[in-house]
Amino acid sequence: MIDGDTFDLMLDKTIRVRIFGIDSPERGQAYNVKAKEFTAGLIAGKQVNVIIRSKDRYGRFVCDVYLQDGTYVNAEIVRAGYAWHFKKYSDDDELARLQDDARMGRRGLWQDENPIPPWEFRKR
């Protein structure tokens, strides 16, 4: 695991995957470690299916990620409160709803009074 929304996928060669539509806390930001641990708990050592949407400027494959049982990993991370719905790149209504539910339920990073989105943290 690189962080809560990026991991290395082992195929014939290793590819770096950036999970589509979400943005988890950055290194040095509150909940970064917990987000990374949550995502690792979902996918580490498991076979996953990925649907590649694009390749970003860093060479990462931006993907939807599914477990073998069909669980949509992108949504589970947002549901648990360990990522924001990244509205700049995604208009997924389900991710938006899950973020609202997590915020209202004060799950994960939404326990903080005023969590700082990663895109704002990066600007600092």
The answer as to whether 54 is a domain residue is yes
* 3-class DSSP state of 18: strand
Question: What does the angle CA 112 – CA 116 – CA 119 come to, to the nearest 5 degrees?
Answer: 150
Q: To 10 degrees, the CA torsion angle through 40, 43, 49, 51?
A: -20
* 3-class DSSP state of 10: strand
Q: Does residue 57 carry a catalytic annotation?
A: no
Count of structural domains within the chain: 1
* 3-class DSSP state of 27: coil
Per-residue pLDDT, averaged over 17-24, amounts to 98
The answer as to whether 118 is a domain residue is yes
The answer as to whether 116 is a domain residue is yes
pLDDT per position as a tens digit, 25-44: 999 999 999 999 999 999 99
**Residue of 18, 53, 57, 94 marked active site:** 18
Say how far apart CA 56 and CA 37 lie, in whole Å: 24
**Residue of 16, 37, 60, 107 marked active site:** 60
The answer as to whether 71 is a domain residue is yes
Q: Is a pLDDT exceeding 90 seen at residue 3? A: yes
Q: Does residue 16 carry a catalytic annotation?
A: no
In this prediction, residue 1 carries a pLDDT of: 87
Say how far apart CA 122 and CA 101 lie, in whole Å: 25
The answer as to whether 20 is a domain residue is yes
Domain CATH for 12: 2.40.50.90
The answer as to whether 1 is a domain residue is no
Residue-number span of the structural domain to which 49 is assigned: 6-123
The answer as to whether 84 is a domain residue is yes
Question: What does the angle CA 113 – CA 35 – CA 64 come to, to the nearest 5 degrees?
Answer: 120
pLDDT per position as a tens digit, 76-120: 999 999 999 999 999 999 999 999 999 999 999 999 999 999 999
**Residue of 16, 26, 37, 107 marked active site:** 26
**Paired tokens of 90:** 């995604």
Q: Does residue 18 carry a catalytic annotation?
A: yes
Residue 124 banded pLDDT, cuts 50, 70, 90 = confident
